[in-house]
Every structure is written in C-alpha cells, then in structure tokens.
Structure 1
Amino acid sequence: MLFLRAQPRLQQPFKQYARRAYATAELSNGVKIAYDLHEPPKEAPQGNAPVVFLHGLFGSKKNNRSMSKVLARDLKRPVYAIDLRNHGDSSHHQRHDYTALAEDIEHFLGQEKMTDSTLIGHSMGAKTAMTVALRQRVPIASLISVDNAPIDAALKSDFAKYVRAMRRIEQAHVKRQADADAILAEYEDELPIRQFLLTNLYRAEDGTQKWRIPIKYLANALDNMADFPFKDPDEVRYAGPTLFVRGTKSHYVADEMLPTIGRFFPNFKLADVESGHWVISEEPEYFRKAVVEFLQEQE
C-alpha cells in the first residue's frame, strides 16, 4: 500500500476541451441509462481505454461534467459520465441498491463492449464501482473510489434531512427556484450543497418546480445506500490497480477502515485531499492530479 498526498500546483487554463455527446443506452434489463461521452482531443490516439464516471446520491452526470472534460483532455481517453438509475435523465425504478446499480453498469459496459475501462465513482458511485469490481462479472482495468469504503456505515443524517426538505418543496408547489432554495436553507446552511441539490429541479408544464429524481424511491433506499453487499473480504477481492481518494475532513474513509479496504483491494493506493465529502467540487485540482498520476502509472 502506498500513500499519496496530492500537492497543490498551478493549473494552466483549461483549453482543448473534449467534445461532448449526449446519449441514452437501453439496457437488456429494461433500464435506460443516460450518459455524456466526453471525447479526447482529435490528435489523441484512437482506441485508448475509456473512463466511466459515476456520481453520488442526489447527483447526476452534470456534477462531473467539468472534471470529465479535463480528464478526457489530460488522459487522452474517452470519458463516459453516467446518470445512475433514479438520477438525472435515467430510468426510475423502485429497486435501488448497490447490486442493482452494479448490474446496470455491467450491462452498460457489456453493451458498449468495454473490457479495459477505469471506473471512477464518488460516494454512492464509489460503492457501485467497488461492487462491480468485486462481482467480477465484467472485466475492468482499474478502480478509483472517491470518499467511500467497502463497509456497512450509516449515512450522514444530512441525507434524510435533504429528503424531508425535498418533500416540503414538492408539497409547496413553488414556481421559482429561489423559493425552493428558501425552504432548503432551513435544512442546509451551505449554499454550494443547496445548489447541488437544486440541480434536480425542473419546471413542469403547470409552471411549478418538480423533482427530476423519484423522492419516494430514494427515501426508501437510504438504508441500502449505507449498506455494502460484500461482508467477508476473505471470500472475494479485486486485485487490480485501485486508488482510494478520501477527504481528510470527511468520516467516510477513516484510518480504521484501511485494513478492510486492503483485504478487499490488496493493490490499493491512498490519496488524501484536504476537503470534506465533496472532494471533486471542493478541491478539483488536487483530485485531478491524484487521478491523472495514478492512471498514467498504469500505462
């Protein structure tokens, strides 16, 4: 196990952004998965291994758009930013647990004929990516988990609080996002987190603000999101290159969890980023550097 610490570095202005294409894949299990494909620069070699980017609870592919562009450029790889089921523009389904989420990604990788992809997941997306790796139903080249660990651990109480706020907003039939934000502010002080949650709103035909995500399904799934489908690291493990990126101000990957991580993922490295749980948005340059260095080592 090697410990990495991302160091600050002045980043050149972003240029030569990748082209983006929006698409929807109808999986053989009936679920429709929306995704953005961020293509590498035209001069990049063709056929480079793709990156598949999975967001967290209440998020969407939009959250990872800027980072996907940068990684496509820096790694010269195509980056697929996915909307997981019950999020963004993907299908709604009453079943929402890590096995179901992993099955969706397995179907997606199979249909797109990806056999050497890198999975990057944050929070819920991290446990989804870990589940895919440990199930070994489809081959992946490497794994990057962002601020989550392969253990059963209670979610922060904030998530249940957000559900209550969302229900209040829905019941209030607000017509302006500012009014929705005023209600949400009673539950969450941090403006960036409120803005993140409010990206799930859209204006319905009657002029009211509606949630794009199925609040009922996700509220019922909060316990599932705290769970992890594998309990015994002596029974299953993923030996491929693995990077765990954790926020040092977050509790989701505490030091006492590292031995368990090492048993499930014996070839893992650790990158500490001075941030909270929202590592990618709080410290994008630290995150970018840790990911790029890790993946370039695999080339």
Structure 2
Amino acid sequence: MQLNYKQIGQGPNVILIHGLFGSLENLNVIAKPLSEHFCVTNVDLRNHGLSPHSDEMDYTAMANDVVELMTALNIQKAHLVGHSMGGKVAMQVALTHSELVDKLVVLDIAPVSYPARHIQIIEALNAVKNADISDRKQADLVMQPYIEEIGIRQFLLKSLYKNDDGHFVWRFNLPVLDDKYSTITANINANNSCLCETLFIKGNDSDYILTEHREAINALFKNVSAKIIHGAGHWLHAQKPQAVNKAINDFLTAV
C-alpha cells in the first residue's frame, strides 16, 4: 500500500506516525521544528487521511506499509517517532525490521493491550455519519452529548470534509476502524526484542504509560530511556509542543 506522505527538510531521515482517527497534519507541530535538522517524512496511516482504505487493519500490516514507503523513497534507515497507535506501529517496525531503524521515539503509549476507551468517540463519529449535517458546527453539536471535551471534538472535526456530492463525511475509514477496534487496542506482535536506542515520552497527566508497563517495555527495548512532560496528558505534543520537541531533538541529535 502506498501511503500518503509529506516530506520536508533535509538531513538524516525521520518518519512521523500519527495516532487513531488522526492524520499527518496532527504531527506538523513536530515535523516543522525537526525539519531544521532532519528530512522529515510525515505519513498518513492506512484508513486515515489521504492514504488508501483497506479492510485489513493490524500492526503488522501498518508496519509493513511504513517499510514499503521507506523502500519507495529509498530510505535505508530512519529515526521513527510515533504517537499513540502510531507509537505502536513504530515499535512494530523496530521489532520486525530493526535494520531500518536508527532511533525510536514513542509518545505516550506502551507495548501492551488496552481496554476499550474510545467507545463514546466511535458512537459520536457514527452519529455524525448518520446525521444530515450541512457544516462542522452542526457536526460539533451532534458530538457534544458523547464527547464533553471540546479539544477532542475539534481534533476529530479536522477529518470531516465535504465530498464531491456535497455531503460531509469522515476522511478516515470509520466502518473498518470500528470493526477492527479490538485489534487496534491489542498489543503489537512482540516475538523478539530491539536494541535500538529508544525513548518513551509520557504525558504526566496521562494513564497510557503506567508503572506496571515498565516490565513489558524493558523486555522488548533493551536500550531504553524515558522522559515525562509535566502539565500534559495523552496529547502531549499539542499541549506542550516546545517541551516535547526539545526532548525529541535532544534525543535524536545526541551522539
């Protein structure tokens, strides 16, 4: 599958991988500062953004998509930076294609299975899909009973667009993401370990990386360090962009 991507900057290669219901635009806040020192390839994962849709949605397939893109772009080795679901994709690439990965940065996710925590979001997205709306403001009103946080609604609305028929539709493949949700929350395929330098960056107010996840992280990543971003939750790069960007840049440029 040929993923949609945007490439900026020059220097060593960095690949950015967004999370569930997102797109490459979500990581522009990281891409632009990194492009001062790196060639940054920001990707849309399958079933997201402008990348193709598929009924297959698991971490092996998503990791293979990234590897295929690297081959197409003649990227022999790259730093990987992934947020949430994209962090799991980055981990999967590092575990199965370690020869392609220089350093690995994982933003606020662990190599574990997670309980369902997006049910109301999926209900909100389906409510918008089934409603007769004429603009994003109406879509926001439809989602309010399901999603209280305005920031989450605004994030999701970035993927709502008007198609050629004049109807507002979700750019991501909602039916497949809904159907494969249990696969997305499941753990990666972790049958080996990775020796690449790895940095886990956690939002202090987030519960995605917990003390009990340390054993799973250390079992898979033998050269690992961690950074906590205070005053930030799961969307740490949006809440504290300067602190997150400094942590990433310091890690990638360290000799």
* TM-score normalised according to structure 2 size: 0.96
Structure 2 unmatched runs, 5+ = none
For 1:61 and 1:138, locate their aligned partners in 2 and report how far apart those are by CA, in whole Å.
24
Asked if 2 retains the 8 angstrom alpha-carbon contact of 1:115 and 1:141, the reply is no
Matched residue, 1:175: 134
The list of structure 1 runs, each at least 4 consecutive aligned residues, that deviate by more than 3 angstroms after superposition, is none
Matched residue, 2:218: 262
Asked if 2 retains the 8 angstrom alpha-carbon contact of 1:106 and 1:138, the reply is no
Q: More deviation in 284-293 or 221-230?
A: 221-230
Matched residue, 1:69: 32
Which letter maps to 1:256? E
Asked if 1 retains the 8 angstrom alpha-carbon contact of 2:59 and 2:189, the reply is no
Match status 1:214 vs 2:173: yes
Matched residue, 1:50: 13
Shift, 1:230, TM fit: 2.9
Which of the residues 137, 141, 145 maps onto 2:106? Answer: 145
Give the aligned length.
254
Q: For residues 220-278 of structure 1, what are the alpha-carbon distances to aligned partners after superposition, in whole Å with 9 as ceiling and x for unaligned?
A: 111011112335xxx51110110000112111110111122112001011000121111
Which letter maps to 1:37? Q
Shift, 1:67, TM fit: 1.9
For 2:252 and 2:72, locate their aligned partners in 1 and report how far apart those are by CA, in whole Å.
24
When Rg is computed on C-alpha atoms for both structures, the one with the higher figure is 1
Pairwise CA RMSD: 1.3
Which letter maps to 2:112? I
Q: For residues 139-189 of structure 1, what are the alpha-carbon distances to aligned partners after superposition, in whole Å with 9 as ceiling and x for unaligned?
A: 210100001111122242xx2211111111111121111000001111112
Please state whether the residue corresponding to 1:85 is helix, strand or coil. Answer: coil
Please state whether the residue corresponding to 2:245 is helix, strand or coil. Answer: helix
Matched residue, 2:4: 34
Match status 1:281 vs 2:251: no
Shift, 1:137, TM fit: 6.3
Q: For residues 170-223 of structure 1, what are the alpha-carbon distances to aligned partners after superposition, in whole Å with 9 as ceiling and x for unaligned?
A: 111211110000011111122121111001111123332111111110001110
Asked if 2 retains the 8 angstrom alpha-carbon contact of 1:149 and 1:252, the reply is yes
Please state whether the residue corresponding to 1:32 is helix, strand or coil. Answer: coil
Asked if 2 retains the 8 angstrom alpha-carbon contact of 1:247 and 1:273, the reply is yes
Structure 1 unmatched runs, 5+ = 1-30, 41-47
Which letter maps to 2:246? K
Q: For residues 38-88 of structure 1, what are the alpha-carbon distances to aligned partners after superposition, in whole Å with 9 as ceiling and x for unaligned?
A: 124xxxxxxx21100000000000111132011112xx1111110000000
Matched residue, 1:12: none
Please state whether the residue corresponding to 2:4 is helix, strand or coil. Answer: strand
% identical equivalent positions: 31
Shift, 1:138, TM fit: 4.8
Asked if 1 retains the 8 angstrom alpha-carbon contact of 2:98 and 2:194, the reply is no
Alignment of 1:241-260 (within 5 A): 241-260=197-216
Asked if 1 retains the 8 angstrom alpha-carbon contact of 2:106 and 2:200, the reply is yes
Alignment of 1:1-299 (within 5 A): 31-40=1-10, 48-73=11-36, 76-136=37-97, 138-156=99-117, 159-231=118-190, 235-274=191-230, 275-298=232-255
Change (3 A) 1:104 1:138: farther
Please state whether the residue corresponding to 2:244 is helix, strand or coil. Answer: helix
* TM-score normalised according to structure 1 size: 0.82
* Structure with greater helix share of residues: 2
Please state whether the residue corresponding to 2:67 is helix, strand or coil. Answer: helix
